[in-house]
């Protein structure tokens, strides 16, 4: 097993860093982007302030916020997942009214599993980053 890291592209957000952080660091705010979640890939999305659960093609996944670094980073860890992983959302200011966001996922994967999940994980990260970049803050 080796650590594998996947990163989204850097996405521009039409909102200040603090507004993005305030929204993303409280998962109950995900109601704002529920319509952008692809129902063919992720179903039964439930969330509260600190955790989110989804049914995906690979099984049940539950993430919990384990650290908040206001206003720049939110770190998550899996509580339930076929493959345990960490996810963090980085938010950096660009101007007083705009910011940029990037998602990073890190997991211990053997070479066989990595070959099977690399593309879906990368695509999933990009879709989540796009949804966060387009959200109303």
Of all residues in the chain, the percent with pLDDT exceeding 70 is 91
C-alpha angle with apex 93: 92 to 94, nearest 5 degrees? 120
Place of tokens 């101007």: 95
Q: Which domain holds residue 122?
A: 2-134
Contacts by 40-47, CB closer than 8 A, 24 or more apart: 41/124, 41/127
Check which CATH number belongs to the domain holding 128 and give it.
3.30.530.20
Alpha-carbon distance of 137 to 14, in angstroms, equals: 8
Q: Answer left, alpha or beta for residue 123, where phi above 0 means left and psi between -120 and 50 means alpha.
A: alpha
Contacts of 56 (CB under 8 A, 6+ apart): 41, 42, 43
Q: Of 114 and 31, which is predicted with more confidence?
A: 114
Number of domains in the chain: 1
DSSP letter at 74 equals: E
pLDDT digits (tens, 9 = 90+) for 80-124: 988 889 999 999 999 999 999 999 999 989 888 888 888 988 988
pTM of the model: 0.87
């Amino acid at each position: 097993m080796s650590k594998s890291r996947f990163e989204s592209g850097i996405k521009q957000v039409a909102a200040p860093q603090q507004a993005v952080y305030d929204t993303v660091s409280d998962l109950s705010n995900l109601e704002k982007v529920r319509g952008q979640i692809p129902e063919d890939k992720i179903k039964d999305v439930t969330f509260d302030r600190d955790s989110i659960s989804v049914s995906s093609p690979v099984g049940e996944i539950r993430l919990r916020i384990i650290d908040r670094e206001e206003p720049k980073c939110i770190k998550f860890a899996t509580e339930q997942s076929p493959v345990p992983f960490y996810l963090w959302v980085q938010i950096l200011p660009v101007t007083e009214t705009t910011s940029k966001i990037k998602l990073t996922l890190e997991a211990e994967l053997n070479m066989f599993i990595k070959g099977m999940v690399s593309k879906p994980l990368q695509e999933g990260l990009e879709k989540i980053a796009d949804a966060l970049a387009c959200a109303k803050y």
